[in-house]
Structure 1
C-alpha cells in the first residue's frame, strides 16, 4: 500500500553536526510515548541531544518533525499491510497473521506500547487539526489495504461473492485500534493475541 503523504523537506544550510536519523528516531519515541500535543520542545531537544536552533534547521517546526517521525515509524513498524499481503497466504491467513504481528509489535517491551498512528494525536486542540487529519488518512489507508486483500479473496473464490468486505475491513481496523488502546493500558501480549484470535471468529462462513 503506497503512502500518499509528502515527506517534509529538510531545509538547506550548513552540514549537520549530529546523526539526523538517530535524532529522528529519538523524537519518534517521545511523540509515540507522550503524544503530539503533550510533547514539548524541551522534551524533544533533550531526547534528541540537540539545541532548538539545530532542531529547526534540520526538521523545521514541531509539526513537521512529528510528521517526519510518523513517516519514519511507518517505514520501521508493521502498522500497515504490505508485508503480509506480499506473503503467499489466503485472505484469512493474511488477516490472522496481521493481527498476530500487531499484538506482538504493540507489546514489545523495547518500545512504547500501542500504535503511534492510533494514539499519538487523540484529543488534540483545533490547532493540531492538520496532524489529526494526516493520521486519519494513514488509518484510512490501512483500512483500504485490508479491504483490498478481502476483495482479492472474494475474486479468488476464497470468500462468498456477497461478502461485505467494506464492513469486514472496518471491523478488523476497529479491533486493531482497540488492541492499541489495550496495549496502552498495559495489556499483555497473550491478551492481545487472544483478542485477535477472537476477532477471527467473525470471519464469514466458507463457501
Structure 2
C-alpha cells in the first residue's frame, strides 16, 4: 500500500515540475523582450559636435501611445553645459508639447563642450509627460544619450594659432541654419521651419 502511495506522489510531483517548466518557457520570451509604449528616442546617439564650441542638437522621439505635456531636461555632467530655447528650464517638441502615435518629433537643446579632446559624452535626459487622459498622472522617461565630441583643426598660420573647423552640418530640421553663428541666449522659436542658410 505504501509503495502505491509513493508512486502516486512521485507522479504528481513529476507532473507539477513539468507544468512549471512549460510555464517558465512560455513566459521566457515575453519577460526577455518587454514592449515599450511610451515615448522613447529614435536613436540614443546624437549628431556629433565640435569640441570647445556651442551647438544646437536635436533629440528625436517617437511613441506608440499619445504623449501630452512633454518637457525634457538634460544633464551633461561636468563635460557639457546644456541650455534650452528661450532661456527656459526645459525643452519640448518643436511643434508643441504633444506627440501623436506613429509620429516623430524633436526636442532641441544647446550644448557647450568644454574639453578639447575627442570623446563621447553621456547625456542623461528625463522627459516628464502624461498619456493625455482626462485624469492622467505625470510619468517620467529617463534615457542615456551619447554625444560624440570631435576635435578637428586647420593647420596653423604663421604667427597665429590653430583654428578649429566650423561645427558639423546640422540635420533633421535643426533650428539653426548651417554656418549661422550661435550666440549665448539666442532665442529659438518652436515651430520654426528649417531652411537654407544665408547666401
* TM superposition score normalised by structure 2: 0.24
Greater C-alpha radius of gyration:
2
Structure 1 or 2: larger strand share? 2
Structure 1 or 2: larger helix share? 1
